[in-house]
Structures are given as structure tokens and as C-alpha cells.
Amino acid sequence: MEITYNTKLYSLIGNPIDKSLSPIIHNNIFKNLKQNNIYLAFNINQENLKSTIEGFKAMNVGGFNVTIPYKKSIIKYLDDLSTEAKIIGAINTVKNKNGKFIGYNTDGEGFLQTFYNNNISIKDKNCLILGAGGAAYGIGSTLAMHKVKSIYIANRTLESAIKLEKNIKNIDKSIFTQIFDLNLQGLHKENIHIIINTTNIGMYPLENMAPVELNGFSKNTIVYDIIYKPKETKLIKEAESKGMITFNGLSMLLNQAILSQKIWSNGNLEIGHKELEEIEKKLNI
């Protein structure tokens, strides 16, 4: 694709973003769709977040994705949020709608699509979420909306876990919730159906670490680590050694990318399974 003065800019902002695969995915989608767009990743410091958004607006950027650690803190710089993003309290996708920046959250739906694709129901399941950051809000809220039985939250800081629990309860008060430290002391591990790691433990520079140990969990437990690089985190390797079903973050990343593209294109997106397989091969992980 030739870059011209008509080329529309889309981007990813976060810190760090040097390991992100989003530019490869989105630029290949634009190429397959023959769209005159380009997607770039920007490493942004907290003190420059507001000015970055102002600069994007001044340049009429078409839209952008948001990753760690700005999924919540960016909200005050946006013009509005989708209904779902308001409920979740965190965003990962922004659309330029007639000069207004609107925030959306595709974390939960991107996560959930993996279960749909593998014919796995989450209804009435006991779920353990590791972490309480922006991704945990999207996933936790989606689990609550889809009627899981219980959500256990394990996090390093109690304050963040309490806020996430409150968010979940605001969606469905009937869901049982409980908070733990990452040592999981007191948790009845054998009753957990799904473990979701939303922390950065397992990605660079923490590749040799796992957020929790899997001793005591049933071999029927599903382990979903939303980290996609490395493809097999220490947590995933341990789960596979115990015969557990595992998913990494690559499927969620691809699902999110498609959902973001649909938001930017007003739902006018047609990309086939074959094209997605070709993009996945180019990721080289």
C-alpha cells in the first residue's frame, strides 16, 4: 500500500508496546480489505497521555486501541463512552465519530469469542480472575453479563480488587464473589472451572514467572492466559503438563482486532477464516 496524503491513521497507545502484535494484525486487515489506512504503535508516558489524545484529535486520527496501563485513566480525556464501556469502566478501543472520540470495550467479547469458537459454555461456571486492571474489568463484566455462577478475584492490592468486585456486583448482585491474594490461601481450588490471567506476570520481562501455582486445581480446569507473547507462558506450560485445556491471548487479540475494525467501519467488515489464518502465520510467535 502506498502512503498518500489521504492515508488515514489508526494506532495503539500504551506503555510498554514494543512487543505488541497489533500493528501486524491491523495493517494486514487493512491490506486485505484494500483500505488506505495505516496502523502505528506509540509508547506513551502518563504525563503525555492528555496531549497525545489532543494531538490525535487535531490530526483527525480515525481511531485507536488502548492497552496497559491506560484503559481506565484515558476515559476522562474522551468525549463519550459506549453503553457497555460505561458499565465496565474501562476501554480499549476509541473511534473518531465526527470529531468526537468515543470509547468502547472489546476485551470481554474478544475473550468470550474463544469459548464460542470452541463450543464451551461459561454459564454457571466458577471463575477465578487473576489481576484487577483494565482487562479484568472487561472480562469480569462480560462474565457477569453471561451468568457465570461465581467470580473469585485474586490480586496483589486489595483496593483494586474491591473496585472490580463492586463493578461486577453492579451488573449482577446474584453472582457470588470473593477476593484473595495471589497466594490463593483459603480458595477451594477444586471447585474452579476457569482461571483467567489478566496480569502481566508471564510476559516480558517476567517470562520465567507465573501468577499462581496450579497445584490443587482439577485437571478439568480451563486456563486462559490473555498474554500472547510468549505464546506459551509459564502458567500455560504448567497447565498443559497437568492435562488442562488452555488458551493463550492470541485468539483474544485477533477477536479484539476484528471487533475494533467493525467499530471503526460501522460494522462493514468482511474478513474470512482463510485471511485470519494468513495473518496469524505472519505473527511469527
Mean pLDDT, all residues of the chain: 93
Q: How many C-beta neighbours within 10 Å does residue 268 have?
A: 9
Give residue-wise pLDDT tens across range 40-65: 999 999 999 999 999 999 999 999 99
- Grid cell at residue 54: 489532543
Q: Known binding site for NADP(+): residues?
A: 131-135, 226, 249
Known binding positions for shikimate = 20-22, 67, 92, 107, 228, 256
3-class secondary-structure state, position 107: helix
Exposure letters 73-102 (e unless 16+ CB within 10 A, then b): ebbebbeebbebbebbbbbbbbbbeeeebb
Summarised one tens digit per residue, pLDDT across range 171-185 is 999 999 999 999 999
* End-to-end Cα, the chain, rounded Å: 25
Whether 71 sits among the annotated catalytic residues: the reply is yes
C-alpha separations of 237 from 111, 214, 230 in Å: 20, 11, 11
Flag whether pLDDT at 272 surpasses 70: no
- Report the pLDDT value the prediction gives residue 167, as an integer from 0 to 100: 94
Name the grid cell of 111.
475473550
Does 273 score more than 90 pLDDT?
no
Cβ atoms of residues 65 and 92 within 8 Å: yes
Amino acid in position 222: I
- C-alpha 161/C-alpha 68 separation (Å) is 17
Paired strand residues for 100 = 97
Q: Which of 8, 57, 71, 97 is catalytic?
A: 71
Residue recorded with cell 476484528: 258
pLDDT in tens, 148-173: 999 999 999 999 999 999 999 999 99
**Cα of 52 vs its chain's centroid, Å:** 22
Question: If you ran DSSP here, which 8-state letter would residue 47 be given?
Answer: G
**Total-model pTM:** 0.84
Residue 196, amino acid: I
C-alpha to C-alpha distance for 237 and 282, rounded to whole angstroms: 23
Residue 82 neighbours by CB under 8 Å, 6+ apart: 102, 103, 104, 105
C-alpha cell at 85: 464501556
Q: State mean pLDDT over 1-5.
A: 84
- Reference 250, options 218, 272, 268, 227; nearest CA is 227
How many Å separate Cα 164 from the centre of its chain? 15
Q: Is the pLDDT of residue 266 over 90?
A: no
Quote the CA–CA distance of 244 and 217 in Å, as a whole number.
10
Structural domains of the chain ordered from first start? 8-105+251-282 (3.40.50.10860), 108-247 (3.40.50.720)
Report, as an integer, the average pLDDT of 129-142. 93
